[in-house]
Amino acid sequence: MSIINNINKAFDHRIRLGIMSILMVNDYADFNMLKELLGATDGNIASHTKSLEKAEYIKVEKQFIGKKPNTRYYATKLGKLEFKKHINALEKLIGKQ
Amino acid sequence: MSIINNINKAFDHRIRLGIMSILMVNDYADFNMLKELLGATDGNIASHTKSLEKAEYIKVEKQFIGKKPNTRYYATKLGKLEFKKHINALEKLIGKQ
DNA sequence: TAAAGTACTTTGAAAAACAAAGTAAGTTAA
DNA sequence: TTAACTTACTTTGTTTTTCAAAGTACTTTA
């Protein structure tokens, strides 16, 4: 077992790390909130949320607010659990410095 | 300025994070040490060390130990500084959880 | 002296990241 | 009222990165 064994590949990118961090402290976030908070492009947010969705770490809800489409992202129970594990692994790795 | 602004892209991969962590606590590490500690393949170690070297975050020294070639990796002053910044940014981001 | 091992490096395919362009609806302004 | 613009994404295709298998240049062992 290597020292990076519990680093989860799914979170191993700054944008996905950012998305998860946001969804851990906020109940949900919508597309534009993620986009602004992370300073990423539309395509970027779309692909990273898609990969987290595929892993079932976040879920997506589409609705209309007034007449505007709105996409909300939530961390799933699994996502929260795995992210905590990831953080612990990160802290273990970098905590020594 | 986004919340992931100080996350350094150069360290934004578990293997490179691992390499730097190792080189922060150990004065140096050689190829096989990195390989074993990280459980990565040869090609993997080679390419990730190369990218860190290109960024001048680590330096490489090649020598012979007895008759065997041996490659040692050291973190540079810049590398240590930038890695600390990266860790601080990471902790700021995930510390809220 | 042939086969196996060591310590890397090179290569090329596969996957991931990215931004520009596209889509579909709503809004505003002339 | 219709053309131009905005919003909220999605799709597309190129570029970049990741990866492991194969290659290289020795050395060691049988």
Q: What's the CATH code of the domain at B54?
A: 1.10.10.10
State the Rg of chain A over Cα: 14
How much is the pLDDT for A67? 74
How much is the pLDDT for B56? 94
Six-digit token pair at A62? 């589409």
Residue A3 maps to a domain: no
**Number of independent structural domains in chain A:** 1
Distance CA B35, CA B15 (A): 10
Residue B32 maps to a domain: yes
Residue A95 maps to a domain: no
Backbone angles phi, psi at B26, to 5 degrees: -110, 145
Render pLDDT for B14-51 as a digit per residue (tens, 0 to 9): 999 999 999 999 999 999 999 999 999 999 999 999 99
Domain with A43 in it: 9-90
Residue B4 maps to a domain: no
Residue A2 maps to a domain: no
Residue B52 maps to a domain: yes
Residue A79 maps to a domain: yes
| Position B97 confidence tier, pLDDT thresholds 50, 70, 90 | low
Residues of B contacting chain A (CB within 8 angstroms): 1-5, 7, 9, 12-15, 17-18, 21-22, 24-25, 36-40, 83-84, 87, 90-91, 93-94, 96-97
Residue B91 maps to a domain: no
Residues whose CB is less than 8 angstroms from the CB of residue A22 and which lie 6 or more positions away in sequence, other chains included: A29, A33, A34, A37, A38, B3
Q: Which of B36, B37, B90 sits opposite A90 (nearest CB)?
A: B90
Residue A84 clears pLDDT 70, i.e. is over it: yes
Which chain C positions come under 7 Å from a protein C-beta? Answer: 6-11, 16-22, 25-27
Nearest Cα residue in chain A from B26 = A97
Beta bridge partners of B61: B72
How much is the pLDDT for B17? 95
